[in-house]
Amino acid sequence: MKNINRIKIYATLFMLLVIEIAVFKNLAIFGTRPELLLIFTVFFGFHFGIARGMEAGLVSGILKDVFSITGFGINIFSFIAIGFLAGFLKNKLIKENFITQFTFSMLSVLILSSVYFLYLAEIVKNDIGTGFWKVVLYKGLYTAIFAPFLFFIFTLVFSPKET
Amino acid sequence: MRKYRIRKFPARLLLVIVIIAIIAFNPKIFLSLRGFAFNTLAKPFKFLTSIKTHFTKINELSEKNLRLKQRLATLSVLLARLDDTAYENKRLQALLDFKRNVRFKSVAAKVIGRDSTDWRKSIIINKGKKDGIRQRMPCATAKGFIGSVVEVGSSSSKVILINDPNSKVGVILESSRESGVLIGSPQGSCKVIYLSVDAKIDKGEKILTAGFSTFFPKGLLIGEVISTGVEKTKLYKYAIVDLFEDMNKIEEIICIDTLGHEKY
């Protein structure tokens, strides 16, 4: 595996977080923003394997949790799981195909949202199901549309090579 | 031939002298002739100078154009900043007016960040413990109540907004005096629950904080009713609320110190 500069990874992650929070605040569709950090985690899992996927997931999750009032660890857990899954499926999927990127990104949003649903259902005690999954669908589509473009950019930046 | 030339010479000379004398003794003719001669002789120089001036002017104009363009760009930036400052000034003035009307001491803060997830609704402000911010302090803008402080750092804090799914605020409806609980949702909308099933609630009725708890002062505006309905259990009514403040566009807030001393 090609040796990747960790500073470059963390700087990219931080930049993506800033874009997600500051820029997409004004580009929200149905109140949702695309999960750029999630796409990054999936990309790393797909191209660099389980360990790197989980590492990217860990850092993404920490960044997400720091800037949220969500219970600390929810994002870390979810992102690591998604990084693991992407790394696990590294050689089982045609990761260069944009349909794979689109579908897997949408699936990742579904996994992340399911964790949130369980967490919110536990703390809120009110009925949050109404409209929740509709928003998940918008969020999933919004993220999935961005996935192929970001995969292309990440490929140029990190130039992953097959082992 | 030679004789003719010699004979003609004094005549010509005489003519020239006479002309010079006339010119010399008549300043008007002298000046007009001199002017004519000067103009005629100066024409080629003028032409050359005009070409040079033309090119110099082009250079000067292009430099001036560049300078003006730069100035225009600077002025455009300044104008945009001025507009922004004027708008900020208007907002801060409204916030200051609101702050004056609040009975308690308050701390003004700027919003420096928002929640990184779509399912929770919170903001990060630039004031913390050292500025007197405490947990559960109610926060408001000039338009009304927006939430309360949930996490306090030394110089920044997190504020949970009233449209967060985990937010619950005791509220009262202005004219019907019905009380209920305002809750948020993951989608960012708000509704008042636990309203009595026989309550008569009008569309557009204002919703205020009830002041049942020690933390939230009574009478802070929140929003207005846009529709009502009965819960599935048929035990309570609910009201969908349109918040006065756009939660995605909050820039400055005040945190009210309800546990501190009252101003008056």
Examine the domain organization and report whether B59 and B137 are in the same domain. no
- The verdict on a CB contact (< 8 Å) between B118 and A69 is no
- State whether residue A132 sits within 8 Å of chain B by CB: yes
Report the 10 Å Cβ neighbour count for B196. 14
pLDDT band for position B264 (cuts 50, 70, 90): low
**A74, containing H or E segment:** helix A74-88
Examine the fold and report which residue of B73, B101, B129 is the final residue of a domain before the chain moves on: B101
At B113 the pLDDT is 84
Residue in chain B closest to A123 (alpha carbons) equals B166
Give the closest residue to B116 by CA, choosing from A65, A109, A103: A65
| Spatial separation of the C-alpha atoms in residues B111 and A137, rounded to whole Å | 30
- The verdict on a CB contact (< 8 Å) between A31 and B120 is no
pLDDT band for position A3 (cuts 50, 70, 90): low
Q: Which residues of A64-78 are buried (b: 16+ CB within 10 A; e: fewer)?
A: bbebbbbeeebbbeb
pLDDT band for position A39 (cuts 50, 70, 90): very high
Examine the domain organization and report whether B93 and B141 are in the same domain. no
For A61-95, the pLDDT digits (tens) are 988 888 888 778 888 999 999 999 999 988 888 87
Residues near A120 by Cβ (< 8 Å), separated by ≥ 6? Answer: A128, B119, B165, B166, B186
User: pLDDT: is A19 or B8 the higher one?
Assistant: A19
Q: Which amino acid is at A42?
A: V
- Put residue B132 in one of left, alpha, beta given phi > 0 → left and psi -120 to 50 → alpha: left
3-state helix, strand, coil in chain A (%, to 5): 70, 0, 25
Tell which A residues from 61 to 100 touch B, by Cβ distance under 8 Å. 63-64, 66-70, 75
Parallel, antiparallel, or unpaired for β B168-173 and B179-183?
antiparallel
- Number of domains composing chain B: 2
Examine the fold and report which residue of B101, B120, B136 is the final residue of a domain before the chain moves on: B101
With a cut of 70, say whether residue A5 has pLDDT above it: yes
B212 within domain boundaries: yes
Examine the domain organization and report whether B128 and B48 are in the same domain. no
Compute the C-alpha angle B259/B261/B264, nearest 5°: 130
Q: Which of A130-144, B33-47, B72-86, B188-202 is least confident?
A: B33-47
Examine the domain organization and report whether B82 and B147 are in the same domain. no
Examine the domain organization and report whether B139 and B200 are in the same domain. yes
With a cut of 60, say whether residue B263 has pLDDT above it: no
User: pLDDT: is A44 or A120 the higher one?
Assistant: A44
- State whether residue A120 sits within 8 Å of chain B by CB: yes
Domain that holds residue B67: 1-101
Examine the domain organization and report whether B46 and B118 are in the same domain. no
For A46-59, the pLDDT digits (tens) are 988 888 889 899 99
With a cut of 60, say whether residue B3 has pLDDT above it: no
At B250 the pLDDT is 87
pLDDT band for position B201 (cuts 50, 70, 90): confident
Q: Which of A24-28, A59-63, A72-76, B224-228 is least confident?
A: A24-28
pLDDT band for position A144 (cuts 50, 70, 90): very high
Examine the fold and report which residue of B44, B78, B101 is the final residue of a domain before the chain moves on: B101
Q: How far is CA B174 from CA B105, B219, B239, B242, in A?
A: 25, 9, 13, 15
Average pLDDT value for residue range B99-121? 82
- The verdict on a CB contact (< 8 Å) between B113 and A25 is no
With a cut of 50, say whether residue A163 has pLDDT above it: no
Average pLDDT value for residue range B197-223? 85
Average pLDDT value for residue range B77-89? 84
Per the DSSP assignment, residues forming a β-bridge with B221 are: B208
- Model-wide pTM > 0.90: no
pLDDT over 90 for what percent of chain B? 9
Examine the domain organization and report whether B95 and B127 are in the same domain. no
- The verdict on a CB contact (< 8 Å) between B160 and A120 is no
Residue in chain A closest to B115 (alpha carbons) equals A68
B261 within domain boundaries: no
Angle between helices B2-25 and B27-101 (to 10 degrees): 50
Examine the domain organization and report whether B62 and B4 are in the same domain. yes
Q: Which amino acid is at A99?
A: I
pLDDT over 70 for what percent of chain B? 95
At A1 the pLDDT is 46
Examine the domain organization and report whether B89 and B150 are in the same domain. no
Give the closest residue to B208 by CA, choosing from B247, B179, B237, B238: B179
Task: Give the domain CATH number at B233.
Answer: 2.40.10.340
Examine the domain organization and report whether B111 and B89 are in the same domain. no
pLDDT band for position B2 (cuts 50, 70, 90): low
Domain ranges in chain A? 6-158
Examine the domain organization and report whether B108 and B93 are in the same domain. no
At B226 the pLDDT is 92
Domain A6-158: which CATH class? mainly alpha
At A161 the pLDDT is 65
Q: How many residues does chain B have?
A: 264
Here the ipTM equals 0.74
Examine the domain organization and report whether B124 and B109 are in the same domain. yes
Q: Please, what is the average pLDDT of chain A?
A: 85
Q: How many interchain CB pairs under 8 A, A with B?
A: 70
Residue in chain A closest to B159 (alpha carbons) equals A69
pLDDT over 90 for what percent of chain A? 23
Among A18-22, A124-128, B212-216, B237-241, top mean pLDDT goes to B237-241
Report the 10 Å Cβ neighbour count for A105. 29
Longest dimension (CA), chain A: 50
B262 within domain boundaries: no
At B6 the pLDDT is 57
B264 within domain boundaries: no
For B229-254, the pLDDT digits (tens) are 888 888 888 899 999 888 888 888 98
Average pLDDT value for residue range B204-232? 86
Residues of A in contact with B186 (CB under 8 A): 116, 120, 128, 131-132, 135
